[in-house]
Each structure stands twice: as C-alpha cells, then as structure tokens.
Amino acid sequence: MYSHAFLSLRTPSPATSLPELKSDKLQTLGKWRSNFTVTVTSACTQRVVLVLHELGVEYDFIAVALMKGEHKDTSYTQDVHPFGRIPTLKDGNFQLFESRAICRYLVSKFGGTSTLNSDKQADAVQIGTLEQAISIEYSYFDPQIKALCYENVFKGYLGKGAASPDEVEKATDILTTCLDYYEALLSKQDYLTGNEFGLVDIFVMPWLPWFHVLKMDDLISGRPKFESWWKRMTARRSWQLVQESLPKTG
C-alpha cells in the first residue's frame, strides 16, 4: 500500500496548468455509483491535494511505502514527520505537516482572492465562526467517520478482529448529530462556513465516498440539503481531478 507523504511544490507561484498525479499501487476498496472510486489514499492527503487543485498550484508526489513501514523509519520521523504520519509538504526549504495546517499555509501563500482565503482582515465574529466550523469538522465529523472506517473496514484488513459494537454505536451517534447540524446549517447557507465555498467544505470532502463503503448512504439521501451540497462538491473540478488521477485497480 503506497500513499503520498511528501507534496513538494513545483513552483513558488500559482501555475495555470494542472499536473497529472503520479499513479502508484493504491488498492481500490469500493465504488460509489458510477463516477468515482474509493481508494485507500489518505483522506488527509486528498484534503491537501484538493486545495492545491483549487488554487492551481503545481506539485510533485513523493510516495512513502506505508505497508513497509517507511513512515516509521528513523529517517522519516527525524527529518520529515516526528509522528510518522502523512502528508507533509515541502516548499523550498520550508517543511510542514498536519493536513489542515498545510491547507491554511497554502491558502495564505497562494489564496489571493479565492473564497478559501477568508480569514484575512476578518473581524472577531468572523474568526470565531470560522474556527468553530473548523473545530466541528475536527471534533465531531472527522473522528467519527474515521472510527467507522477503522471498525468496519480496516480492522478486517489488518486482522484485528470484528468491529466493536460500542465504538460503532458511539461514532454513529455523534456523526448523525453532526449531519443533522450540517443539514440545519445548509438550510440557511450554501456552504459549511457561509455562502461561499470554504476550507471546511474541503476538509469534509475526502470522506464523502466512504459513506457508501460503510453502507451508510441513507445518512446522506435522508438529508436533502446535505445531499445537494455533496452533489455540488463532487461536481467541482478539483474533486474530479483528484478522483480521476487516483489509480484505479479494482
């Protein structure tokens, strides 16, 4: 299982042409309808790649062999990521890890007039509201969908036994509350942070196909506003470029 650990920027300024992603040996886990494929490429890496595409910044992938444990090698933990995770970003001599931090760095450096670049000149209420939305994604959405993937998919692959009913119930409860919150929010505004496409929309996007893998499509189809938002997200060119460029082996 390969994934993308380094994202090395090709140019110090936004480029107009979009790069081909390098194809490597990613395993396909499932298909969602007819038009996109779920792979094990890390959601955190996809998050950063979506921002790169949205901003039109060229980059190269440097793959790290997770299954061989390269991300736990001393050379990796000493020089690249002290916690042995992916992705990391290299921009000239500057290195950064943590996907959301990388996204905010990219937006600050290359965001220009993009709607992603919303916190420049913001007042306290706007900052508080943006940070609240980011924290909701981080606290209630991401950990729960990740836990459900681990319990229901990865545990089996890793030979770690059956899903824990308690963990599945706990994660499902909080995720459902979060989707209810998003549904109510999206009845008042077009995107998760307001009426403009923003970073939190991108933070959530990589997890969308997993609802199908987890056989939880009804959590989406039962919420018309969220489903409409989802369709708008998957119609974005950045989403399509990421999906098309992911290797399809299944």
Instruction: State the residues that interact with a second copy by CB under 8 A.
Output: 82-83, 94, 96-98, 100-102, 104-106, 108-109, 122-125, 127-129, 131-132, 134-136, 138-140, 174, 177-178, 180-181, 184
Q: Is residue 188 classed exposed, middle or buried when 0-12, 13-18 and 19+ CB atoms within 10 A define those classes?
A: exposed
Minimum gap (Å) between residue 35 Cβ and a second copy? 32
Contact assessment for residue 11 and residue 57, using Cβ atoms and an 8 Å cutoff:
yes
Shortest spacing between CB 220 and a second copy, in angstroms: 19
- The residue (of 31 and 90) whose beta carbon lies closer to a second copy is 90
Pairing of strands 2-9, 88-91: parallel
CB of 238 to a second copy, least distance (A): 20
Question: Using CA atoms in the order 103, 105, 108, 111, what is the torsion angle rounded to 10 degrees?
Answer: -40
Could you tell me the smallest distance in angstroms from the CB atom of residue 89 to a second copy? 8
Q: Considering beta carbons, is residue 123 or 169 the nearer one to a second copy?
A: 123
Nearer to a second copy, 98 or 217 (CB): 98
Q: How far apart are the first and last CA of the chain?
A: 14
Comparing C-alpha atoms, which of 228, 8, 202, 234 is closest to residue 115? Answer: 202
Contact between 24 and 80 under an 8 Å Cβ cutoff? The reply is no
Rounded to the nearest whole angstrom, what is the least distance from the CB of residue 166 to a second copy in the complex? 10
Nearer Cβ to a second copy (30/143): 143
Q: How far is CA 135 from CA 95, 132, 143, 204, in A?
A: 24, 5, 11, 12
Given the complex with a second copy, which of 68 and 72 has the nearer CB atom? 72
